[in-house]
Amino acid sequence: MRSLIDISELSVGEIEALIDKAEAIMESPADYADKCRGRKLATLFFEPSTRTRLSFEAAMYELGGNVLGFSESQSSSAAKGESVADTARTVSCYADIIAMRHPKEGAPLVASVNASVPVINAGDGGHNHPTQTLTDLLTIEREKGRLTDLTVGICGDLKFGRTVHSLISALSRYEGVRFILISPAELKIPGYVRDGVLKKNSVPFEETTDLDGSIASLDVLYMTRVQRERFFNEEDYLRLRDSYILTAAKMGAAKSDMTVMHPLPRVNEIAYEIDSDPRAAYFRQVMYGKFIRMALILKLLEIE
């Protein structure tokens, strides 16, 4: 039995196999329509979500399986004080696999130690979000045709943005990837990523506050939302939330084939006028998220 808590638990070869499987499913979805017949996925979401939860649920339905779960902690026994460990033990009696999102860093790990079925981390606090990263890798592969030799700009809330931490961890393992990390000084990448991932693996990176000055060099621009729910006070959020807004004028300086990504939800970081630009990949990214989660469910349930 295997869970997915941190993206580094998957080897580069396993990620490649998941991408291949997702592409095979996209080619002929009918071949996969019964693969999970009789199996159940539990989605335990203690934090808001649109894409992650619904894409997991859609993925399981498209595999012929069923779904149960809750979408807010207040409607579960967590509201009565039940521990994550006990919730995980309980849900293991009802479901074959669990996807869990939780505001506390490490909660899905605790669940995985206590569950008797695989647990997928669907986002833990400001820490990690491995299935968004699988989605992002599939998107880059589809849009650029490669995961190597890329200059990747990541812009916005690099401190609290969990998708950023997992994405850097994954892409750092590919040859020729360099990062331009664009954020306000207060929202820089945490030390455990800067030192523990980038420096440790001698991955080239720059930290800057300047989007305009860096956009021309980028192959991929990954925009992120300022993570309001992780701030200690509203004033700081209000001061920082509009630090970067990608507009058509700014896109004028970018490469003609630069890919614009965003894990979504977008608040104000990407002007709506960009949506019709062929370089805007964020809604294609949403679509890829369902297929890579289908591939992941099959892998963790050990279904060929």
Binding site for ligand NCD (CB under 6 A): 51-52, 123, 129, 132, 162-163, 225, 263-265
**Residue type at position 206:** E
**Minimum CB distance to ligand NCD, residue 210 (Å):** 22
Euclidean distance between CA atoms 250 and 277, whole angstroms: 12
Euclidean distance between CA atoms 266 and 242, whole angstroms: 12
**Minimum CB distance to ligand NCD, residue 129 (Å):** 5
**DSSP per-residue codes, 30-76:** GGGTTTTTT-EEEEEESS--SHHHHHHHHHHHHTT-EEEEESSGGGS
Please check whether residue 125 is in contact with residue 146, taking contact to mean a CB–CB distance below 8 angstroms: no
Q: Could you count the other beta carbons within 10 Å of the beta carbon of residue 43?
A: 24
Closest by CA to 247, choosing from 270, 219, 213, is 270
Q: Name the residue nearer to ligand NCD (CB basis): 32 or 286.
A: 286
**Secondary element (H or E) of residue 135:** helix 130-144
**Minimum CB distance to ligand NCD, residue 204 (Å):** 26
Q: Name the residue nearer to ligand NCD (CB basis): 51 or 173.
A: 51
**Minimum CB distance to ligand NCD, residue 234 (Å):** 17
- The answer to whether the Cα torsion of 21, 27, 31, 37 is positive or negative is positive
**Minimum CB distance to ligand NCD, residue 33 (Å):** 26
Q: Name the residue nearer to ligand NCD (CB basis): 51 or 144.
A: 51
Q: Name the residue nearer to ligand NCD (CB basis): 223 or 295.
A: 223
Q: Which two tokens stand for residue 208?
A: 């800057």
Is 180 strand, coil or helix? Answer: strand
Q: Name the residue nearer to ligand NCD (CB basis): 118 or 263.
A: 263
Closest by CA to 53, choosing from 3, 124, 7, 101, is 101
Q: Could you count the other beta carbons within 10 Å of the beta carbon of residue 77?
A: 13
Q: Name the residue nearer to ligand NCD (CB basis): 153 or 263.
A: 263
Which residues on adjacent β-strands are paired with residue 121? Answer: 100
**Minimum CB distance to ligand NCD, residue 278 (Å):** 22
Q: Name the residue nearer to ligand NCD (CB basis): 32 or 125.
A: 125
Closest by CA to 70, choosing from 49, 55, 85, is 49
**Minimum CB distance to ligand NCD, residue 163 (Å):** 5
**Minimum CB distance to ligand NCD, residue 292 (Å):** 13
Residue 144 neighbours by CB under 8 Å, 6+ apart? 150, 219, 220, 259
Residue 103 is given by DSSP the state S
Q: Name the residue nearer to ligand NCD (CB basis): 71 or 163.
A: 163
